[in-house]
A and B are shown apart, each in its own frame.
Chain A
Amino acid sequence: MKQFLLKAFSVFFALLLFGMQTFAFSLKASSPITENEIQAVSAFDDAEIYDAFAGMADLDQYLATNTNKTYTDVSKENCALLNGVSATTSLPLSASSDQEALGIPSFLWGCVFGIIGLLVVYLMTDNNKEQTKKALYGCIVGTVVSVGLYVLIFAAAATTSTTNY
């Protein structure tokens, strides 16, 4: 029993030491959270976002009670509700607003996968450049990262294959 306890304590302290070293490494690489960053995190008026969609309130309400209506149905019944609303599910990336990014609607990229997909692909593919480019493209469509990455977007588009049936 004594021997068992000794072994258990040894393993425990070894793990503790390992954990502390990891923590020490993290501290070494610490960077302060600035006042501006705290302000950006904590003081954000989301009314700005809701206001942006105020014009869609009627469509929202209509579709809540008419759950199976499509764009075509609504355009026949009350086309005023579709004022400024696109007939496709994709976000415009370029001049052509009806163009789906790689054939995949933006909601899949931006709200469902987002930046995490990019990071995971980056890690999982051992920095495989082609894979990372594709992931960056996916990330950008939804969350739109930076102008400079458009170069990568076109590179990715050129290397992606689509099979149509």
Chain B
Amino acid sequence: MVKKIFLLTFLLLLFFKGNTQHSYRFTSEITLKAKSKTGEFQYTKGVVHYNLKNKKLLFNITFPQKEFYLAVDTLIYKFQNNKLLSVQNNPIKPEFSIFQFILNNDLSDFGLKNSSFSISNIEKNNGLIITKWSPPAIVNFPIGNILISTKDKRLQSVLIYNKKGILLSRQIYKDYNMVNGVGIPSEILSVSYLGNVKSYQVMKISHALINEQGNDADYDFQVGEVKK
């Protein structure tokens, strides 16, 4: 009898695991508007492709100029006019990007769960769950507390403070869309407060697709190829 129960449980587990749809590809149109402290505007528009399996991140930029960037491991390749223009060291791997968090459903804690920050308090206020993350006890660690608010398990805002408790940056995640069961914010607003001067960014994510079929070359772009 016990053996039969174990066998049944095992088979059920196999069944559910087999039916789990893993998210491994992300693509969307992206528009970034930025206003610097000097008042100058930047406008960047393009399409992003991210493949969770090979950790390749491809940006196909159409504005201000046609160019694309491929981030692989610790390198970023820049292509322009169908030519490899430069190779740049990138200390941050693509797997630490927002797209990885989206595919892994880790966006709700801003990825802090897997960092050295630890939760020092949680409060509920007006339907928001506010979580305070404190930095690791490392001498001269540059960042102070980080406050995160979520609603219905979706990230709403991130506030980053310095060690003196002065607000350095605020990000707001808005208008989530459900795509293949994955919550994707359609807008990320960001304000930074360096030297008491505000600078702004708005990133729009539109036409997002999860596990897109086709366009395989964009999800596994080979550096030796020429992008057309």
In the complex, whether B138 has a CB less than 8 A from a CB of chain A is yes
- Shortest distance from the beta carbon of A148 to any chain B beta carbon, whole Å: 8
Contact of A106 among B42, B126, B160 (CB under 8 A): B42
User: Which A residues lie within 8 Å of B182 (CB)?
Assistant: none
Q: What's the least CB distance linking A56 to chain B, in Å?
A: 6
How many Å lie between the Cα of A73 and that of B86 in the bound state? 25
B162 touches A40 (CB 8 A): no
Q: In the bound complex, do residue B132 and residue A37 qualify as a contact, i.e. CB atoms below 8 Å apart?
A: yes
Q: How many chain B residues have a CB neighbour from A under 8 Å?
A: 93
* A113–B35 CB distance below 8 A: no
How many Å lie between the Cα of A46 and that of B43 in the bound state? Answer: 19
* Distance in angstroms between the alpha carbons of A51 and B195 in the assembled complex: 21
B91 contact from A63, A70, A103, A121, Cβ within 8 A: A121
With A85-B43, A97-B38 as given contacts, are A53 and B33 in contact (CB-CB < 8 Å)? yes
> Which of B99, B110, B169 lies at the interface centre, i.e. has the most chain A CB atoms within 10 A of its CB?
B169
Task: Find chain A residues with CB under 8 A from B119 CB.
Answer: 26
For chain B, residues 7 to 60, give those with C-beta under 8 angstroms from any C-beta of chain A: 30-36, 38-45, 57, 59
A41 at the binding interface (Cβ < 8 Å): yes
Which of B63, B120, B160, B195 has most A Cβ within 10 Å?
A: B63
Once the chains bind, are B116 and A138 in contact (CB under 8 Å)?
Answer: no
- Judge whether A145 and B168 touch: CB under 8 Å: yes
Residue of A52, A56, A113, A115 near B43 (CB, 8 A) is: A56
Interchain CB contact under 8 A, B44 and A89:
yes
| Contact, CB under 8 Å: A67 / B62 | yes
Interchain residue pairs A-B with the least CB separation, the first 5: A117-B92, A71-B64, A144-B192, A134-B91, A144-B194
What are 5 pairs between A and B in contact, CB < 8 Å?
A41-B157, A110-B34, A115-B160, A145-B194, A147-B195
